[in-house]
Amino acid sequence: MIARVIRHSKSLARFLLAFGLGFGVLFVSTPQGEEAAELLEPTLAPGPRRLISLNPSLSAIVLRLGEGQRLVGVDDYSARLMPELAELPRVGGLFDPGLESILSLRPDRVLLVAGLEQETHATRLAKLGVPVDIYPNERLDEVLENIQRLGTLLGREQAAANRIQAILEMRRAVSVAAKSRRRPTSVAIVDRSPLFIVGSETFLDEMLDAVGAENLGRRLAKGYPRGSIEWLIDARPERLLDMTPGATAALEFWSRWPSIPAVANGQVVDVDASRISLPGPDLDRALRELAIAVHGEGIEVDIRRAIAERSASPPMREDELVDQ
């Protein structure tokens, strides 16, 4: 039992250290509008034809670029979270993909994220002659770069550029909208029990910064550290953004500690993790909803105004995009 616990603890530690890859397993939701139609659109673009994705954030990007038909296998989480992929063969979990299952699907490219555990699999797959692409996805820039790389790989450069542009435009718009507002001190909770929070050097921390929230979790550690309730009470956050999936109402849970300013002022917000926490192609939507969670519905008007003002001016040049 102890040996198993130790093995499990190692896996968890790796999971949390490289949470960008783990955090992507939370949820994903289906894109809407005209881009949704692209999902089923057959493609003749060059590039690998038999893809296996071992991470939901990568699976989501492939789907969003309209190249879902190239996927011949996915990890369990992707299949569980994305209805479009539910019927595809599964090749195991994030940390224990089955080599035999992968080989039997004869992939011409396997997509996985950076991190000790997955890179070990990458090495083994490479030794077996399977081409492997590794995508780091802990930071916002890395996610954008992943969209660009996958766009190039799948011959969907324009679709990828559009996605990146949309995300960067939204980041700019929410920053402009939040500029005139006070930056509330905030703690973003990934899970209540045990308590995991959003720390520094994560894409969620960068998004909180962009929407004008001071993330107190930065002071604790980088990544997604396990915090203590006492630390949280002592930090006195003005906003509690609770992303715990499938839990009771956040305010009901946190109201047992009424000294927390966010509780006292009714600023405990249930955040739908399914719409915010995947380091994938829909971070524009995530940014907008995070801004609303932090500042209230009133900010939406300002976000629209910022977008409209930008639309009236010339589109961003490539060097401007990079600067952002």
Partner 1 sequence: MIRLSLSRMIFVLGTLSFGLVLICLIALATGPSNIGFGAVVDVANSFLRGSADTAAGDASFDIVLRVRLPRLILGLLVGAALATAGVIFQALLRNPLADPYVLGVSGGAALAGIVVLALGGLLGISTSFVPIAAFGGGLLATALLYWVSGGPGRSGPTGLLLTGVVFNAFASAGIVFLASIAGFFDGSRIFLWLIGHLSAVEIDAAGLVAVSVAIGFGVACLLSRSLNLIALGDETAAQLGIPVDAHRRWLLLSTSLMVGAAVAVSGLIGFVGLIVPHALRLVIGSDHRLLIPAAALSGAGFLVLSDTLARTILDGRELPVGAVTALIGGPLFIFLLRRAQSKGPLS
Binding site for partner 1 (CB under 8 A): 1-2, 4-5, 8-9, 12, 15, 22, 25-26, 77, 80, 93, 96, 191, 193-196, 219-221, 225-231, 233-234, 236, 244-246, 248, 256-260, 264
**Between 77 and 135, CB nearer to partner 1:** 77
CB of residue 226 vs partner 1: minimum separation in angstroms?
5
Contact 30, 84 (CB under 8 A): yes
Tokens standing for 65? 């670029």
**Between 135 and 196, CB nearer to partner 1:** 196
How far, rounded to the nearest angstrom, does the alpha carbon of residue 240 sit from its chain's CA centroid?
19
Contact 189, 197 (CB under 8 A): yes
Sign of CA dihedral 285, 318, 210, 151: positive
**Between 76 and 119, CB nearer to partner 1:** 76
Which residue type is seen at 211? V
CB of residue 230 vs partner 1: minimum separation in angstroms?
5
Beta bridge mates, 270: 242
Cα(102)–Cα(60) distance, integer angstroms = 19
Candidates 20, 25, 48; CA nearest to 143 is: 20
CB of residue 170 vs partner 1: minimum separation in angstroms?
27
**Between 108 and 270, CB nearer to partner 1:** 270
**Between 39 and 233, CB nearer to partner 1:** 233
**Between 53 and 277, CB nearer to partner 1:** 277
- Characterize the bridge pairing of strands 185-191 and 239-242: parallel
Q: Give the number of other CB atoms < 10 A from CB of residue 302.
A: 19
CB of residue 23 vs partner 1: minimum separation in angstroms?
8
CB of residue 106 vs partner 1: minimum separation in angstroms?
26
CB of residue 67 vs partner 1: minimum separation in angstroms?
26
Beta bridge mates, 214: 185
Tell me the longest C-alpha to C-alpha distance in the chain: 64
